[in-house]
Structure 1
Amino acid sequence: MPLHRFAQDRGSVAAEFAVTMPAVLLVLALSVGALGAAVHQVRLADAAADAARALGRGEPVSSAGALSAQLAPGSTLTTSSEGDLVCAEVSRPWALPGGRATGIRLAARACALGGGR
């Protein structure tokens, strides 16, 4: 092979790297964002379960709300009754790292037997 043939390819690796790097960064950012959303969803599920158990024991809504706010800061608690069950729904808006709002609201709901009434 003549040496001048490789001279035509000079800089192609840098150009390909420059083209693919934004796509790699986008996939990485989306992956980190999805992982963050999953972590928040688990926190909300834990908070909803604890709030439902507290309501089932007969504790006041304010106490269950304080418990859910402690486990999932910035969340709101909504309660309801369905027959013998008391239900708690904990939700909060999800923001990207750095505080950028997404317009997505994450929520989790749990119910417990209301035997403490």
Structure 2
Amino acid sequence: MRRVRRRDERGAVTAEAAVVLPVLVLVTVALAWLVSLGVAQVRVVDASREAARALARGESQGTAVALARRVAPGGASVRTDATGTTVRSVVVAPVRGPGGVFGALPTVRVRAEAVALKELGT
């Protein structure tokens, strides 16, 4: 009778974990960055709407921009325009990568625009 020798598999789990863990960390960081992009987009939309509402109510352009900057992410630019019967606001904000491996990624700009009708008597 012939004896079959089993291969020694000690350390195989450690080697697999050593390969998989860095990949899981990269995926986690990428997902966290995508979530931060989504949050920044929501904040930009809210800031744009806030500025448009303020202008539609008859607030000054400076007040509308200040309200938008309070809601918008840091480094955002706010443009407003009140011509005719409508008001318009555009907010653009940069979102930088999380650093590390993703530090080489270019800055992403999120943008939102809101338009509103001026209220009567303004």
Verify same fold: TM over 0.5.
yes
Give the TM-score normalised by the residue count of structure 2: 0.80
The 3 A distance-change label for structure 1 pair 51 and 3 is farther
Q: Which amino acid aligns with 2:80?
A: T
Point out 4+ residue stretches in structure 1 off by more than 4 angstroms. none
| Structure 2 counterpart SS, 1:105 | strand
Counterparts of residues 1-117 of structure 1 (less than 5 Å): 5=6, 7=8, 9-72=9-72, 73-81=74-82, 84-97=85-98, 102-115=106-119, 117=122
Shift of 1:95: 2.1
Q: Answer yes or no: is the 8 Å Cα contact 2:97–2:107 preserved in 1.
A: no
Q: Answer yes or no: is the 8 Å Cα contact 1:41–1:106 preserved in 2.
A: yes
Deviations along 1:53-96, whole A, 9 cap, x unmatched? 11111212111110011111432111235753211111111124
Deviations along 1:28-66, whole A, 9 cap, x unmatched? 001111111111111111111110011111212111110
Q: Answer yes or no: is the 8 Å Cα contact 2:65–2:80 preserved in 1.
A: no
Q: Which runs of 5+ in 2 are unaligned?
A: none
Q: Measure, in 1, the Cα distance between the counterparts of 2:83 and 2:22.
A: 50
Name whichever of 76-85 and 56-65 sits farther off.
76-85
Q: Measure, in 2, the Cα distance between the counterparts of 1:105 and 1:38.
A: 12
Q: CA RMSD in A?
A: 2.3
* Identical columns (%): 38
Q: Measure, in 1, the Cα distance between the counterparts of 2:7 and 2:83.
A: 75
Give the TM-score normalised by the residue count of structure 1: 0.83
Number of residues of Structure 1 aligned to a counterpart in Structure 2 = 114
Shift of 1:19: 0.8
Q: Measure, in 1, the Cα distance between the counterparts of 2:4 and 2:86.
A: 80
Name whichever of 103-112 and 89-98 sits farther off.
89-98
Q: Measure, in 1, the Cα distance between the counterparts of 2:47 and 2:4.
A: 67
